[in-house]
Amino acid sequence: MNIAVADQQIKRANRLKATKLNNRMVTDYWDDLFKAKEEGRLVCWYEGVAINPILQAADIAWCHGEAMSALLAARNEEGPAQEAAEEFGYDRELCSYARTHIGCGVLTQNSTPESVSDLPRDSEVRKGLAARVPAPDMIISAYPFCSTGQQWDDMLYRQFGKKVPIFNISLPWIWGNKPSAKYMSGPEYREAVAFLVQQLRECITFIEGITGKKFDHDRLREIMGYIKRAAEIKVEAMRLCKAKPSPASFFEWTNSIAPVNFLPGGPDIVNYFEIKKAEIQERVDNGVGSAPVEKYRLFWDGIMNWNKIGWLADKFAGYDSCIVAGRYTHMGFWHETEVIDLDDPLDGMAQNYLTCPISISAPQMVDKIVEHCEYYELDGLILHGARTCRAFSYPQFLIAEGVGKRLGLPVAMFEGDMVDESFYKDELVNSRVEAMLEQIEARRARSM
């Protein structure tokens, strides 16, 4: 008898109340960005790592490409932008973040007569959320590992007729040629950090050239102070999820990416994580779990299906499962706060960028995942192969093998995507997840 199927019921995950505050902050941020041009502010489009503190310190409004694409998907408004990109000729096997964001570029830009003709004919399409993103006054590319990120920015640069200044930050990939190369240590790592810091300083000079103002390093220190504190509280709150049942799930942490990825660094994000941590602590004290019944504790590897966060949270709750931690949420977004020196934050910022979930190669990545699986006492791994995010998907066979060998955990692998839901096949997901839960049950039965 199929245990998992037999037990599956329609259940809803217990949402944290703090999520509503997060959603409000996110909405406020986008509303503010959409007004930036009217208020005379410069706008920067960027992809990749969180360079927004630098932009904030320079009083520049910012649009993070992945965040924009994720927002559209989460609100089921990704269609017009993706359609615009497809109409321009971009293949749907291309990174869906890039396609969606470039589609925004097609919809919003009006800088050249040639590009106006590329706009979709349907005027309704032009009115959507995607078309409200203000056109950039500068583009900064800072993509870790994934070459697609740099090419995506190059396409935006060309889309806007090469008239918008662009600055490229080349992030070294942390490979580890020598035995001395360890996580966040060794000569190769330090050389990579030094090169990145050099480029961040040059980036600041580039920004000064555009704003015509001297960069305010004191402001950057202040902003990074808030970000560091917010991230520390976030990690503390995550660690509370060692409790059984886990008071929060991976899906709650995906909802908390914005404050440590692209929302302005200030008291609000610290306040948000304080409230969230207190709510989690309260759940721990009262034995309340994110899943109404927690029989299985899981790890999520891979990027999020942004159009299915709540739906997937309920789906796994229905399997009496809680996805407690994930590579995307727990191994990035200012996760190494201790190296951020507020007197000179660029080195620590660079280190956080270089240790994000795709910036380290598989051996170090697998080690970190094993650490999380052990700490949170997990039973299995969900490996979500985002079809158009090869950067995130490639190591998943190595993760399955590595974690499997070291901890004996079963895995469920399935394909999906971050913002193109056409790649997600629900019945396939059901069968894979159910098979993994069966394996967990069998493993438990053998150990009894």
Partner 1 sequence: MHPALGVLAEAARRPNDHARRWKAKTGRKVVGSFPMHFPAEVVHASGAMPVVLQESDDPITVGGAGMYPFFCGYTRSVVDQASKGDFDYVDAIMFGDHCVQILSAADIVRNRLPETQVGFYQLIPSLRDKWSLENSMRALDRLIEGIEETLGVTITEDDLRASIREFNENRQLIRRLYELRRTGAIRLRASHMQHIVKSSMVMDKAEHNALLRQIVDSVEPGADTLGGGLPVYVSGHLCQAPKPAVLDMIEDCGAVIVDDDLYHGYRYISMDMDETGDPVKAIANWYLNRNFGAPCPTRLDPGIDWDGWLLKAVDACGAKGMIVLMAKFCEPHYFYYPRIRKAFQVADVPHLLIETEHEMLGLENMRTKVETFVEVARRRGTPQRIAS
Q: Which one of 48, 326, 380, 395 is in contact with partner 1 (CB under 8 A)?
A: 395
Shortest Cβ distance from residue 69 to partner 1 (Å)? 16
Cβ at position 390, least distance to partner 1 in Å: 5
Number of residues engaging partner 1 in binding (CB under 8 A): 48
184's torsion region: left (phi>0), alpha (psi -120 to 50) or beta?
Answer: left
Shortest distance in whole angstroms from residue 135 CB to partner 1: 18
Binding residue for partner 1 (CB under 8 A) from 55, 125, 166, 381?
A: 166
Nearer to partner 1, 57 or 400 (CB): 400
Segment near partner 1 (CB under 8 A); pick from 39-47, 67-75, 168-176, 311-319: 168-176
How far, in Å, CA of 217 to CA of 199, rounded? Answer: 16
Which residue carries 């409200």 as its tokens?
132
Query: Is position 193 an interface residue for partner 1 (rule: CB under 8 A)?
Result: no
Among 274, 394, 406, 438, binds partner 1 (CB under 8 A): 394
Q: For residue 121, how many other CB atoms are within 10 A of its CB?
A: 7
User: Between 272 and 328, whose beta carbon lies closer to partner 1?
Assistant: 328
Backbone phi, then psi, for 91, in 5-degree steps? -70, 145
| Position among 234, 295, 387, 432 found at the interface with partner 1 (CB under 8 A) | 387
CB of 387 to partner 1, least distance (A): 5
By CB under 8 A, tell whether 76 contacts partner 1. no
Cα(325)–Cα(328) distance, integer angstroms? 9
Among 154, 294, 341, 441, binds partner 1 (CB under 8 A): 154
40 sits in the region (left: phi over 0; alpha: psi -120 to 50; else beta) called left
Task: Determine, following the binding rule CB under 8 A, whether residue 444 of this chain makes contact with partner 1.
Answer: no
> 385: helix, coil or strand?
strand
Angle between helices 217-239 and 267-286 (to 10 degrees): 10
Residue 376 makes contact with partner 1 by CB under 8 A? no
* Binding of partner 1 by 421 (CB under 8 A): no
Is 185 one of the binding residues for partner 1 (CB under 8 A)? no
Binding to partner 1 (CB under 8 A) within 79-138 occurs at: 88-91, 93-95, 98
Query: Applying CB under 8 A, does 179 fall inside the site for partner 1?
Result: no
SS3 (DSSP) at 47: strand
Which window, 160-168, 244-252, 273-281, 348-356, contacts partner 1 (CB under 8 A)? 160-168
Per DSSP, the residues of 167-229 read EE--PPPB---STT-BTTBSHHHHHHHHHHHHHHHHHHHHHHHHH-S---HHHHHHHHHHHHH
353 binds partner 1 (CB under 8 A): no
Nearer to partner 1, 27 or 198 (CB): 198
Q: Which residues contact 381 (CB under 8 A, 6 or more apart)?
A: 298, 299, 300, 301, 369, 373, 399, 400, 403, 409, 410, 411, 412
**Side-chain-facing half-sphere of 189: CA atoms under 13 Å:** 21
427 near partner 1, judged by CB under 8 A: no
The CA distance from 120 to 291, in Å, is 44
Task: Give yes or no for residue 250 binding partner 1 (CB under 8 A).
Answer: no
The upper half-sphere exposure of residue 278, i.e. CA atoms within 13 Å in the direction of its Cβ, equals 8
Q: Which residues bind partner 1 (CB under 8 A)?
A: 88-91, 93-95, 98, 141, 145-148, 150-152, 154-155, 157-158, 162, 166, 168, 170, 172-173, 175, 177, 191, 195, 198-199, 202, 361-362, 385, 387-388, 390-391, 393-398, 401, 415
